[in-house]
Amino acid sequence: MSGEIKGLHTNSKGYYRWQPPMRKVIEINQSTLTLDDYLEAVRAYEAAKRNWELGVATYEGTFKQAVEEYIKAQELPLIAGDKEPATVYRAKNTLPKIDEELSRIKFGGKSKAKSHPSAKLTSITKDDVEKWQKQKLTQKSERTKKLLSPSTVDTYMRVLQGFFTWCATEGENKRKPIHQNQTSKAQTN
């Protein structure tokens, strides 16, 4: 019977087992690579790795436009009772300010009077978010004139994380410049 079904074998105790038939291995003749070929292959590998890690962003709009879409999307679950009002309130009040501050970081300048254009959503990097976070930890509150507490900055980071998660799920930005472990209690370095 073992000869009738391809891949069927009996073991030492007489039990039947099936193993898929092995394919014939094709041997490839070795060829020599020049240094240029090797370097080109390494560059192609690095580019493919970077594209896989970051993804190719499809959204061409600005951070501000994406924030407006996000706020509209957050209001629908609020009406249905699926979202807490505080979550939508924080998003409405915090994200436009974050947009201004990230634009200032992206385009330079410390003056609050000078208006900067909103940065493209896909141009915001992890470094930009980290600079913004460090800036917030050293910034004084306009209301109390005291340094912002790490828990306040942590709340801002959670709002920003929620925004970037929404962008990633909506396909507007396939990479998130902020990750889950970045928001756990802002570090005061």
Per-residue model confidence as pLDDT tens digits over 109-151: 654 545 678 888 888 888 888 999 999 999 888 888 888 888 9
Distance CA 36, CA 28 (A): 22
- Residue 10 has φ and ψ, to the nearest 5°, of -115, 145
The secondary structure of residue 76, as a DSSP letter, is H
pTM score, whole prediction: 0.57
The pLDDT tens digits for 149-171 are: 889 899 999 888 888 888 877 76
Cβ atoms within 10 Å of 136's Cβ, excluding its own: 19
Domain segments of the chain as ranges: 63-182
The pLDDT tens digits for 38-64 are: 888 888 888 776 665 554 455 678 888
Pull the structure tokens for residue 172. Answer: 């507007």
CB-side neighbour CA atoms (13 Å) of 144? 7
CATH topology (fold) of 63-182: DNA polymerase; domain 1 (1.10.150)
Mean pLDDT score of the chain, rounded to an integer? 75
Pull the structure tokens for residue 29. Answer: 């003749």
Average pLDDT in the 73-98 region? Answer: 79
